[in-house]
Amino acid sequence: MSSIDSVLVASKETPTEALTDTVKAYLNSITDDLLASLPDADRLTPSERRGIIGRYAAVLEGNFIYWMTGAYLAAGSEEARSIITDNLLEEVRDSHPAMLRRFVMAANALPTEEDVLAVAPNLLEVRLFIGRLSAAPIMAMMAFFESFIQRFMPYLEDLARRQGSTEDEYTQVHGVCDIGHSEGLFQGLAAELALTLDSREPAEYLYEGVHLLRSLLETTFDGRSRVAA
Ligand SMILES: [Fe+2]
């Protein structure tokens, strides 16, 4: 009996619900590990703090909406499209990139050339993955991204405060207020999984983008590229 079958027997969930729960648990464990690997903010120098915020901005400001648009273009289900549309509407109407820019400037942490170059190789890998427009793997990546961002906000806000900033709209909007977005993307993922139910284990086809994004986030935290030269 496969791991999915045993979950089904135990809970009487539908196959898609059981699979989504399995995926969610895996993505949460990656987020747990990433958050646990963050350097202690007390031990960071001002330059290291600035670097983390600057690289985060270099990754997020110009790419979040782009990648969410890729998820929209790839999605085959009406449910996922409708969830992504709501997400994009909020991003564009409230200009989350402008909100992020205000946050970064208030912390004196605009990305430098060095920041941009540090994340470039891993960023390119994620962009190329998005370009392949595989619906369920992109939804898995974006569900992971959104839930990671939401749990990362207290740390990011703490770094900015230590930089002398009092600007917290970006971190508040994406932290406590953003639990619904993460849940919505998991529903969208479930809809895509139901559409193309795959007999393979999730690890065989679903996590490429998740793993590429994890490497990019690790690079964002320490400035060291994870792509072999
Ligand atoms: Fe946003």
The pLDDT tens digits for 183-225 are: 899 999 999 988 877 778 777 889 999 999 999 999 999 998 8
The pLDDT score that the predictor gives to residue 16 is 80
* Ligand 1 centroid distance, CA of 229 (Å): 32
* Ligand 1 centroid distance, CA of 174 (Å): 6
* Ligand 1 centroid distance, CA of 187 (Å): 18
* Ligand 1 centroid distance, CA of 112 (Å): 22
The CA distance from 48 to 39, in Å, is 10
Q: In this structure, are residues 184 and 87 in contact, taking their beta carbons and an 8 Å threshold?
A: yes
For residue range 141-152, list pLDDT tens digits in order: 999 999 999 999
For residue range 80-108, list pLDDT tens digits in order: 999 999 999 999 999 999 999 999 999 99
* Ligand 1 centroid distance, CA of 135 (Å): 21
134: left (phi over 0), alpha (psi -120 to 50) or beta: beta
pTM exceeds 0.75 for this model: yes
The pLDDT score that the predictor gives to residue 6 is 56
- Under DSSP, the state recorded for 206 is T
The CA distance from 156 to 142, in Å, is 19
The pLDDT score that the predictor gives to residue 177 is 61
- Under DSSP, the state recorded for 107 is T
* Ligand 1 centroid distance, CA of 99 (Å): 9
Domain locations in the chain?
44-222
pLDDT-above-90 percentage for the chain: 77
The CA distance from 113 to 187, in Å, is 38
Q: In this structure, are residues 151 and 35 in contact, taking their beta carbons and an 8 Å threshold?
A: yes
The pLDDT score that the predictor gives to residue 4 is 54
The pLDDT score that the predictor gives to residue 170 is 96
Q: What's the whole-number mean pLDDT along residues 24-28?
A: 94
Q: In this structure, are residues 115 and 55 in contact, taking their beta carbons and an 8 Å threshold?
A: yes
* Ligand 1 centroid distance, CA of 48 (Å): 24
Residue 15 has pLDDT above 70, yes or no: yes
For ion ligand 1, residues whose CB falls within 5 Å: 96
For the domain covering 44-222, report its CATH number.
Answer: 1.20.910.10
For residue range 106-149, list pLDDT tens digits in order: 999 999 999 999 999 999 999 999 999 999 999 999 999 999 99
* Ligand 1 centroid distance, CA of 91 (Å): 5
For residue range 30-61, list pLDDT tens digits in order: 999 999 999 999 999 999 999 999 999 999 99
Q: What's the whole-number mean pLDDT along residues 63-75?
A: 97
For residue range 169-186, list pLDDT tens digits in order: 999 999 876 777 788 999
* Ligand 1 centroid distance, CA of 6 (Å): 37
